[in-house]
């Protein structure tokens, strides 16, 4: 971090955030702040007024972004296909949505677009997961990428120990798996073994020709 980088404090945050606090329904807006302290990040993240914003904090750099309608469509389509698969295959899964994942010791915090406890579901069954600083880390995260710096977020996932991430960017869905501290692309999912990724990719590519519900019904029929 440059020695003369401006320190962000609670007092000067509102004017910096003004552009992203007036979201357009379909436009993702983002701002990146440097030299943000952990305490400032936590105060911003825990402020109910910021509930609709995504925040990614890694070593003093904080990206704050809105979520547009297109972004949510992709995220929810992936989520619905995952849940249909888990129901059909009798897989116990606990969805944790965009729950904040953060660790002060790692100087890192973020929200996935969707997240799931799968292999670790028995360990969190019945837990309320209210303490975001100490809650177990999900096994799978879904990341719908828009901003140029979104790739940096993988470093945050790796630091937190998220075993697998599904990345959707530029109309392409890929799976990466954490190996020796870094993510490696894979042709299949280990978090959801045998999940038909190609069928999900096809459905995502057809979303402009058919409704999301039609595509989900077709997927459901194929499972049974």
The residues spanned by each domain of the chain are 68-223
Residue 19 · residue 29 · CB < 8 Å: yes
Alpha carbons 35 and 76: distance in angstroms, whole number:
33
pLDDT of the chain, 224 residues: tens digit per residue: 343 444 555 555 555 555 555 545 455 578 899 999 999 999 999 999 898 899 999 999 999 988 888 889 999 999 999 999 999 999 999 999 999 999 999 999 999 999 999 999 999 998 988 888 899 999 999 999 865 456 789 999 999 999 999 999 989 999 999 999 999 999 999 999 999 999 999 999 999 999 999 999 999 999 87
The topology under which CATH files domain 68-223 is tt1808, chain A (3.90.1570)
CA-based torsion, 125, 131, 133, 134: positive or negative: negative
Helices (H), the chain: 13-17, 38-46, 69-88, 121-124, 153-160, 197-205, 212-223
Model-level pTM? 0.88
Q: Angle 179-143-198 (CA atoms, 0-180°, nearest 5)?
A: 80
């Amino acid at each position: 971090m440059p020695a003369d980088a401006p320190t962000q404090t609670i007092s000067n945050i509102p004017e910096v955030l003004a552009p992203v606090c007036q979201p357009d329904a379909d436009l993702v807006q983002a701002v990146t702040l440097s030299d943000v302290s952990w305490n400032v990040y936590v105060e911003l993240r825990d402020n109910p007024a910021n509930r609709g914003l995504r925040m990614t904090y890694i070593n003093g750099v904080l990206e704050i972004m809105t979520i547009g309608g297109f972004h949510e469509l992709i995220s929810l389509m992936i989520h619905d296909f995952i849940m249909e698969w888990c129901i059909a295959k009798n897989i116990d899964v606990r969805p944790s949505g965009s729950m904040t994942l953060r660790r002060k010791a790692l100087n890192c915090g973020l929200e996935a677009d969707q997240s799931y406890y799968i292999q670790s579901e028995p360990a969190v069954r019945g837990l309320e997961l209210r303490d975001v600083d100490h809650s177990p880390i999900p096994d799978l995260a879904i990341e719908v990428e828009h901003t140029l710096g979104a790739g940096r977020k993988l470093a945050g996932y790796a630091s937190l120990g998220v075993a697998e991430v599904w990345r959707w960017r530029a109309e392409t869905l890929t799976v990466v798996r954490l190996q020796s501290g870094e993510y490696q692309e894979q042709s299949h999912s280990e978090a959801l073994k045998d999940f038909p990724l190609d069928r999900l990719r096809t459905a995502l590519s057809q979303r402009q020709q058919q409704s999301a519900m039609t595509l989900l019904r077709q997927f459901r029929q194929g499972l049974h």
